[in-house]
């Protein structure tokens, strides 16, 4: 299981049991729902292939890189005949997410679950409005009312989890999804063709210690994460929609802008206040990069999936591959 999913789930919170609501509040919620339903959605029609494949070469051996995007259009009908042709020749397929070995048994798994439940909230059970500066909480509430008016469980979360849950709700309202359906589709096709699936492996030596460090992230770092995410949401997600549509039509030039990843980078910086989390983040990329380069050295044809931002960012995957002397052809 991917470690972030195991240690730090940020999926939207479960809805709380239904409670009686005052008539005035009920009307406000209905008005908010109506407003949310009119939010502009991504419109991608017909079959789309996304961007072409990056080709990393060493002699007669080639590593093909498929770069996916998140969030992506929910209604995207993705099909890449280029990917299908590569899979017909490939010996190895490398998924984007590493396999994580946390070395935990049933008892430790239960302990981790309760530790995580405790870490989702603020110290002493404080609610978000008592933790955040009033102006920031007002911004958060305005956006929560717009995108997730019925989800009050966010108010019980620590700031960076509340911000991420709100972001997912807003993304969902905009016709986008963080679910990587393209990556799953490619892996399914690889297995159907009997292509060897070689997943990078990362070992988490001390899952409980890592969670404990996450609990010590400074409030100032969490607030910076929330401010970055709220800033993007206040811009009505136009940039996310434009990038998702650019990916669908293969416009790699539009995908090279760095502003879209600023909020994600700020939140990763907040997590990186934990030395163990920072080390794990490095381990993920190192393990994946090592897996694909070893396959490139040993096999004539390898197909791998990664995310477009990690591929293109300064010092990212393409830069590291070039630094190792590989020849790269861009789509």
Alpha carbon distance 268, 286 (integer Å) = 17
Phi, psi of 103 (to 5 degrees): 50, 55
Section 73-88 average pLDDT: 89
Q: Nearest Cα to 328, choosing from 96, 83, 84, 62?
A: 62
Whole-prediction pTM value?
A: 0.77
Alpha carbon distance 285, 319 (integer Å) = 13
- Opening angle at CA 192, ends 186 and 194, nearest 5: 105
Q: Nearest Cα to 74, choosing from 238, 246, 248?
A: 248
- Alpha carbon dihedral 306, 310, 313, 318, in 10-degree steps, equals -40
Q: Is the pLDDT of residue 129 over 50?
A: yes
DSSP 316: S
Q: What's residue 62's pLDDT? A: 98
- Opening angle at CA 279, ends 278 and 283, nearest 5: 120
Q: What's residue 19's pLDDT? A: 32
Task: Say how many C-beta atoms besides its own lie within 10 A of residue 150's C-beta.
Answer: 15
| Residue 263: pLDDT band with limits 50, 70, 90 | low
- Provide the residue count of the chain: 331
Section 90-102 average pLDDT: 87
* Cβ neighbours for 163, distance < 8 A, ≥ 6 positions apart: 140, 225, 226, 229, 230, 267
Q: Is the pLDDT of residue 260 over 60?
A: no
DSSP 118-150: HHHS-GGG--HHHHS-HHHHHHHHHHHHHH-TT
The β-bridge partners of 304 are: 65, 94
| Residue 108: pLDDT band with limits 50, 70, 90 | low
Q: Is the pLDDT of residue 113 over 60?
A: no
- Opening angle at CA 244, ends 242 and 250, nearest 5: 100
Alpha carbon distance 323, 70 (integer Å) = 27
Which helix or strand (DSSP H or E) is residue 88 part of? Answer: helix 81-89
Q: Do the beta carbons of residue 303 and residue 87 sit within 8 Å?
A: yes
Task: Specify the higher pLDDT residue, 15 or 306.
Answer: 306
Task: Say how many C-beta atoms besides its own lie within 10 A of residue 54's C-beta.
Answer: 22
Q: Is the pLDDT of residue 169 over 80?
A: yes
Q: Nearest Cα to 128, choosing from 144, 112, 114?
A: 144
Token pair in block for residue 66: 């498929």
DSSP 154: G
Angle of helix 134-147 versus helix 219-234 axis, rounded to 10: 50
Alpha carbon distance 239, 134 (integer Å) = 27
């Amino acid at each position: 299981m991917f470690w972030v999913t195991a240690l730090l789930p940020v999926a939207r919170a479960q809805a709380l049991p239904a409670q009686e609501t005052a008539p005035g509040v009920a009307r406000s919620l209905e008005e908010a729902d109506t407003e949310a339903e009119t939010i502009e959605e991504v419109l991608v029609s017909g079959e789309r292939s996304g961007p072409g494949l990056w080709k990393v070469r060493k002699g007669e051996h080639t590593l093909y890189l498929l770069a996916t995007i998140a969030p992506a259009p929910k209604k995207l009908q993705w099909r890449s005949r280029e990917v299908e042709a590569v899979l017909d020749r490939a010996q190895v397929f490398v998924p984007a997410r590493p396999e994580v070995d946390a070395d935990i048994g049933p008892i430790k798994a239960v302990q981790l679950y309760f530790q995580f439940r405790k870490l989702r909230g603020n110290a002493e059970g404080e609610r978000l409005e008592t933790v955040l500066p009033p102006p920031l909480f007002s911004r958060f509430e305005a956006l929560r009312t717009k995108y997730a008016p019925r989800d009050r469980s966010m108010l019980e979360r620590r700031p960076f989890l509340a911000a991420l849950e709100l972001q997912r709700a807003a993304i969902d309202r905009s016709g986008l999804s963080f679910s990587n359906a393209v990556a799953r589709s490619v892996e399914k096709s690889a297995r159907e063709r009997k292509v060897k699936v070689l997943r990078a492996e990362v070992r988490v030596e001390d899952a409980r210690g890592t969670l404990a460090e996450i609990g010590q992230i400074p409030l100032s770092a969490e607030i910076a994460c929330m401010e970055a995410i709220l800033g993007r949401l206040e811009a009505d997600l136009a940039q996310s929609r434009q990038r998702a549509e650019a990916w669908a039509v293969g416009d790699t030039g539009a995908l090279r802008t760095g502003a879209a990843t600023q909020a994600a980078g700020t939140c990763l910086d907040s997590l990186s206040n934990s030395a163990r989390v920072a080390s794990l983040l490095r381990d993920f990329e190192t393990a994946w990069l090592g897996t694909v380069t070893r396959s490139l050295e040993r096999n004539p044809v390898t197909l791998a999936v990664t995310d477009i931002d990690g591929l293109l960012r300064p010092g990212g995957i393409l830069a590291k591959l070039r630094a190792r002397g590989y020849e790269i052809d861009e789509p």
